[in-house]
Chain A
């Protein structure tokens, strides 16, 4: 191992070597933050569950445009009455001012009889003008009032349509929920299990299962997307391994399996026990 002449420094060298390794260990312990892995795992979990349900996304795009359409007509309705009200307020002021003027003028006329005729003519003219203005304003009012109901009518019609659409959706949703609740055991679930079995059966290579009428049982675990989580488990064999493998291949080939749109029913599909009679 070491030479004779090296013995005197071997202890010192050994101590140095151990010191170097302790320094390395210290550097490893200090320079790395060894406990930094926790938040990443939590974020990953959240993402996994966000992307799963398909059926929940369908009502969302329907609702959003409805809300927008409701919001749009409102400002139109609000804008329309405002100018009308302002005009109404302005008109009486103008009339009162004119009447005051008229009264003042009448008093002055009574005082100054010489100017009566002229003033009367002026009055008449003014009254005519005022009447014309009033008529114009009335016409405008009528137009506006005519416009208003039409606009209101359209807005109302829109609202009604939207409400009807919403009501339809709600009724549909209610119907779905009701039907799901009512026929949770027999109806939809049974239909979809039949669909799943039909889809798988269409993929089975029946020639591999021979002449008889073998029966197989498979346990499969499903994801909400219709894909398999894990491989299907053979519970009851048909007797021939070729047939078992054919059915297993068919299960894998028929991914994604049909699932009901209502995600609340998925819990009944998470672990399915399927029976197959390939030669039926």
Chain B
């Protein structure tokens, strides 16, 4: 059988021989996989940076230095402070402003700085949570997209088999193999996305707990000062 000799099953010929919906599914899955990996590496870097920033700031804060000096050091930097430092900056700025105004109730001052810190905290949390919904969607949906491509490809393979009088495995095998490539790529996109989502979600949770506890402690310190 001379056809068998030509029938090499390299992954390129498999993908090129697949039907159009399967090829579309493959393209979509490769793009989502690329994006999810891109976001994974971005999130790895940013969350790591937020954690080291929080560590550094806590070290600087709890060494017992002057709060005014710390604030000036942060604002003197041309870059906008991030993470825990930005919460501290927002709260202390508000507190200093209220302190300059005479006849201000201490509870109002504390309330204002608390609100400012809460706003900064929400902004920080929003940045930490960025791209996590995308990773969650990729992790849950891309297996189904891959499965869709596989089912379509296998349907095609068996439809082609029905027109042949003597069915052999070699007539369906290439179709099924090319269809299974879709599932493989879907899983390749989904597994790292799910793992990364779970890891990043827990990291963001721990960071948010750290931020909240810092807010409470800083409020106490400000109240003692005033």
Contact = CB atoms under 8 A, between A and B. Distances in A.
A38 to B, nearest CB: 5
Nearest to B80: A5
A101 B170 CA distance: 91
Contacts of B168: 41, 44
B195 to A, nearest CB: 13
B76 interface: no
A111 to B, nearest CB: 100
B34 A18 contact: yes
A24 B46 contact: no
A45 B4 CA distance: 12
A12 B170 contact: no
A177 to B, nearest CB: 30
Interface stretch (B5-13, B150-158, B203-211): B5-13
Nearest to B131: A2
Given A5-B82, A21-B30, A21-B33, A41 B170 contact: yes
A48 B46 contact: no
A230 B41 contact: no
B45 interface: yes
B34 A44 contact: no
A79 B44 CA distance: 95
B24 interface: no
Q: Which of A3, A29, A41 counts the most B-chain CB atoms under 10 A from its CB?
A: A41
B27 interface: no
Interface residues of A, number: 31
Nearest to B30: A21
Contact of A37 (B7, B34, B127, B188): B7
B145 to A, nearest CB: 17
Interface of A is mostly: helix
Contacts of B166: 48, 229
B165 interface: yes
A42 B170 CA distance: 10
B173 A37 contact: yes
Nearest to A28: B11
A17 B34 contact: yes
A240 interface: no
Interface of B is mostly: helix
B45 A9 contact: yes
A37 B38 CA distance: 37
Interface in A1-42: 2-3, 5-6, 9-10, 12-14, 16-18, 20-21, 24-25, 28-29, 32, 34-35, 37-38, 40-42
A37 B82 CA distance: 59
A9 B42 contact: yes
B1 A21 contact: no
A34 B17 CA distance: 15
Q: Which of B7, B41, B44 counts the most A-chain CB atoms under 10 A from its CB?
A: B41
A24 B188 contact: yes
A182 to B, nearest CB: 33
A37 B42 contact: no
A41 B38 contact: no
A17 B4 contact: no
A278 B30 CA distance: 62
26 contacts: A5-B46, A5-B82, A6-B42, A10-B42, A13-B39, A13-B40, A16-B37, A17-B41, A21-B34, A25-B11, A28-B184, A29-B10, A29-B11, A32-B11, A34-B9, A34-B10, A34-B11, A37-B7, A40-B169, A41-B1, A41-B4, A41-B168, A44-B169, A44-B170, A229-B166, A230-B165
Across the A-B interface, give the 10 residue pairs with the lowest CB-CB distance, nearest first: A13-B41, A17-B37, A17-B38, A41-B4, A16-B41, A13-B42, A9-B45, A229-B165, A41-B170, A34-B9
